[in-house]
Each structure stands twice: as structure tokens, then as C-alpha cells.
Amino acid sequence: MSPFSLAGQTALVTGANTGIGQAIAVAMGRAGAHVICAGRSSCDETTGLIDKAEALKLDFADPMAAEDVFAGRQIDILVNNAGIIRRDDSVDFSQADWDDVMDVNLKAVFFTCQAFAKAALPRGHGKIINIASLLSFQGGIRVPSYTASKHGVAGLTKIMANEWAAKGINVNAIAPGYIETNNTEALRADADRNKAILDRIPAGRWGKADDIAETAVFLAAPASNYIHGAVLNVDGGWLAR
Ligand code: NAP
């Protein structure tokens, strides 16, 4: 079997209704996985694009929402993709914008990984892929809770890899660069910011959700079995600049 195949595996992707999560779910389906498309919004469009798929309602407004999802059935791959961003000057940033982002982007990621691990550790295998960000490495501007949460995702990816690598679970993250999705609509609509961003990307273009999706398939597949605790930049070269 190809080391890039996901045949016979079940993957759960959060935030699978749109953007990067939808592309990851579809790519994993194409690679042969049965895909559980999880979201707070309907994932019907995504399940319609995949041969073997099902939808699951998950809203991380409650960061413990996935607590009981993994017990009682075999889920081999977890992709923590759901995420939100709030913009304001740090001097004005509200507690609500802090808490909402930290709950979805960090607390929910940790406790979803924990729930997955409780089921996967006894089996001795599993793959976790967290979606980090360039702001796992850089500060950004006017997005303090997002930056804090994504630095946190990189750190959690490493600690969980340290604890679970020898027990058969790979924990890795992808740090997407600037990708064309709802998340970046405001940036692309601002002609000055759009130009400044494009001028800095060595590849000379915004990323596509599929650029991230194929990397996620690699990190879920046997080809990456010796990769643990990595935060892989998929950024058109941004961080190399
Ligand atoms: P997106 O199109 O806005 O998608 C975000 C996804 O997260 C949506 O499915 C959204 O559901 C879901 N979500 C938000 N809050 C949720 C909640 N409380 N419970 C469950 N799901 C929730 O943005 P995207 O660009 O694809 O983002 C996907 C991931 O990539 C995020 O973690 C983001 O931080 C990361 N990322 C994106 C970029 C980029 O350039 N686009 C760069 C770096 C990192 P709804 O549709 O229902 O809101």
C-alpha cells in the first residue's frame, strides 16, 4: 500500500464546513479515509464531496464539546482546524475577545487532543494534526488573543508529542501562511495590506486551502510516522524571508 494512503482509517476534522478544514476533509477522503466532518455549522456540503463521510455537530463555544466523541469507536486521525480571530488594538482589546478566541483556538484544542488520546493510547496508534499559524512564531498586529492562542498551539503540540510519541501517537502541527479563506477576507479586501503581504511572499501568491490539505494528508499517513512535535510551515516561504 502507498505510504501516502489513508485507506482503512477514520479521520475527524473540526471546522470541516469551509476553508482549510473543508479542503483537509476532502483531501483525506480522496486519500481513502472515512471522514467525520465536524462543525458548528452544517457540514453537508463537505460530506457531499467525499465518498465515505458523516457529519457531526461540534461547537467549541464549549471547549469540552468533544469530550465524549472518541470513546466507543475507532478514530485514527484528529485534525484540530476550527479557529477564530478577533482584531483590535491591544490597548483596547476586550476580555470577551480574549476568552472567546482562547476557548476555541487553545482550550478546545487541548481537551479535544486529550479525549482523542484517552481512546487512542490503549490502541497504540493515532495521528493528531493541529492547525497553528505564522503567528505561532511572529507577533502580528491587533490580534493579541489569536497570537497567544497560536503560540500555545505550537507549545501544546510539542508537549503532547513528548508524552505520546513512544506510545504510537504522532502529534504535529501545520503553520499555514496567508491562505485565501473567510479568515483572511478582511486582509485581502484592504489593497495596501494585500500588496504588502504579496510583496513579502517568496512564492508570489496567496496560499490555497489545498496547499494545507495535502500537507495534512502527509502528516496523517504512514509516510510521516517518524515526525513528532513538528510545526511545519506551509507559507510560500514567508518565514524564510
Ligand atoms: P475559516 O474559513 O474562517 O474557517 C474556520 C472554521 O472554524 C470554520 O469551519 C468555523 O465554523 C470553525 N469554527 C469557528 N468557531 C467554531 C466553534 N466555536 N466551534 C466549531 N467550529 C468553529 O478560516 P480558515 O482560514 O479555514 O481557518 C482554519 C484554521 O486555519 C484556523 O485554525 C485558522 O486560525 C488557521 N489559519 C488560517 C490561515 C489563513 O490564512 N486562512 C492562516 C493561518 C492559520 P463556522 O463556519 O461555523 O464559523
Q: Which atom of ligand 1 is nearest to the CA of 19?
A: 26
Residue 3 within any structural domain of the chain: no
Give the per-residue pLDDT at 1: 85
Residue 174's φ and ψ, nearest 5 degrees, are -115, 130
Where residue 69 sits, what CATH number does that domain have?
3.40.50.720
- Does a structural domain hold residue 241? no
Give the structural domain span for 159. Answer: 10-232
Return the pLDDT at 38. Answer: 98
What pTM, to 2 d.p., does this model score?
0.98
Which atom of ligand 1 is the closest one to the Cα of 178? 40
Residue 133 lies in a domain: yes
Pocket test for ligand 1, best of 84, 157, 211 (most atoms within 8 A of CB): 84
- 1 Cα–ligand 1 center, Å: 33
- Per the structure, the count of domains in the chain is 1
Per-residue pLDDT tens over the stretch 96-149: 999 999 999 999 999 999 999 999 999 999 999 999 999 999 999 999 999 999
Answer yes or no: is 172 within a domain.
yes
| Residues contacting residue 82 through CB under 8 Å, at least 6 positions apart | 14, 15, 21, 38, 39, 40, 58, 60, 104, 108
- Is residue 239, in this structure, part of any structural domain at all? no
> Which stretches of the chain score pLDDT less than 50?
none
Q: What's the CA-to-centroid distance between 61 and ligand 1, angstroms?
A: 13
Question: pLDDT at position 162, please?
Answer: 98
As beta bridge partners, residue 160 has: none
Give the pLDDT confidence score for residue 191 in this predicted structure.
97
